[in-house]
Copies of this chain bind each other. A is one copy, B any other.
Amino acid sequence: ARADDELSRLKQQIEELNQKVDALNQRETAPAPWDGLEIGGALQLDYNHFDGAYNATHEGRTGSDLFPRRVRAYIGSEHGDWDYKLLMDFSDDAEIVMARLRYSGFERGPVVQLGKLREDISLEALSSSAHLVMIERSSLANTVSPYFRWGASAYQFFPSSGLRYAFGVYKNDAFGDSGKDDSERLNYATSGRLTWAPKREQGEVLHLGLWASYRDMSGDELSASWARGEVRETPVRLVDYAAGGAPVAVDHLTQQGLELAAQWHSLLFQAEYARRELSTEDSASDLDGRDFDGYSASLSYFLTGEARTYKASQGVFRQPDGVRNAWEVAARTSRVDASSANQGTDVTSHTLGLSYYYDTNLKFMLNLIRSRVSGPGAPALVGNERDANAVVLRTQYQF
């Protein structure tokens, strides 16, 4: 009888199992073509409100704009040791932001990549726009980084020591260069970065970095405007080495930078210093051998206790993993001195920031920015409007 009871119980269990398995069999499954594929994107919708030097062409009156800062979509394909990612931005026509073909198959060697790649210049420029402390990057990062260029690069992280190197060669069609010389031959840029993270535990990070870049300009004119002054849609771009004078034809330029970041739980300090030296086509130019420099320093703190994630393999910070219902405050100061003897501006910006993370996908940001313009080119660029104020709002959704 006990055996019979057991038997009927077993029979019932088997019956239930059969039903579950049949239900499973009727569930839809993914077709093979989806293997290794990934799709996603992001929206950054910004509101800018500004006056003073930012709107000097309209007597410094209050200007404003509502606009899509970034409207992105990507496809990723992973395939053995190779992966490819195409990242498009549609906010202003269709632009390839990144088209990266990457090989990670060398056991103890570097990761190598080909395509439109982010040049290894500046901690802030290398941080994803979706993970920044402030809405816009500092004038320093925007001055020195050409962001994504067509070329090839390699990088390697050594987990034992926390060292990481990266080096690449690119077509230099940035900063006003056409990408070609007078014979239609490629102009190259080379960039390299070395970082060391002696401390790299979650919430306790020390990051040191240095980078350098050489850019062949083959006599093309260096673009006048180096940075907008940390607000996107203003009529006047404040950091301008040619204001009050003229742009200059450049044979090549060199840049170097230093990075420091220290994290103690919810508190993160990031600082950078960089310089740019021009070698002009006309060696009699005032600007030949002229050295420009700048810095940026920010402090950010999560009121709700989270800590940004240090991605040691890339040497950058990201928003906290799994962040949800979090508040972050931040302050930043930056300066880029683009002035020389007779022209150019020297711009200092101070920013206060407040961010609310609804969750990992959704973030709302508020930045208050105050910039000050000086230098011999200031009167020509902004007249008497030497101060500039802005309120910037962002809604960001990523998926």
Q: List the interface of chain A (C-beta within 8 A of B).
A: 3-4, 6-7, 10-11, 13-14, 17-18, 20-21, 24-25, 27-41, 43, 45, 55, 57-59, 61-68, 71, 73, 75, 77, 79-80, 82, 84, 86, 88, 90-91, 93-94, 96, 99, 101, 114-116, 150-151, 171, 179-180, 182-186, 235, 358-359, 361-362, 395, 397, 399
Across-interface contacts of A66 in B (CB, < 8 A): 150-151, 171, 186
Q: Is the CB of A28 within 8 A of B28?
A: no
Q: List 11 A-B contacts (CB under 8 A).
A: A3-B3, A34-B39, A59-B183, A61-B185, A66-B150, A66-B186, A68-B116, A73-B75, A84-B399, A90-B96, A93-B94
Q: Is the CB of A4 within 8 A of B3?
A: yes
| Max chain B C-beta neighbours (<10 A), residue from A24, A32, A66, A101 | A66
CA distance A268 to B92 in the complex (A): 41
Across-interface contacts of A186 in B (CB, < 8 A): 64-66
* Residue of B with least CB distance to A19: B21
State how many angstroms separate the Cβ of A392 from the closest Cβ of chain B.
Answer: 14
Q: Is the CB of B6 within 8 A of A183?
A: no
Q: A37-B399, A399-B79 are in contact. Are A29 and B31 (CB under 8 A)?
A: no
Interchain residue pairs A-B with the least CB separation, the first 6? A63-B184, A94-B94, A77-B399, A30-B30, A61-B183, A64-B186
CA distance A14 to B59 in the complex (A): 81
Q: Is the CB of A86 within 8 A of B73?
A: yes
Copies of this protein chain in the complex? 3
State how many angstroms separate the Cβ of A106 from the closest Cβ of chain B.
Answer: 14
CA distance A73 to B43 in the complex (A): 16
Across-interface contacts of A93 in B (CB, < 8 A): 93-94
Across-interface contacts of A71 in B (CB, < 8 A): 86, 96, 99
Q: Is the CB of B62 within 8 A of A183?
A: yes
Q: Is the CB of B84 within 8 A of A43?
A: yes
Q: Is the CB of A185 within 8 A of B7?
A: no
Q: Is the CB of B90 within 8 A of A94?
A: yes
State how many angstroms separate the Cβ of A294 from the closest Cβ of chain B.
Answer: 27
State how many angstroms separate the Cβ of A24 from the closest Cβ of chain B.
Answer: 5
CA distance A395 to B84 in the complex (A): 12
Across-interface contacts of A45 in B (CB, < 8 A): 99, 101, 114-115, 150
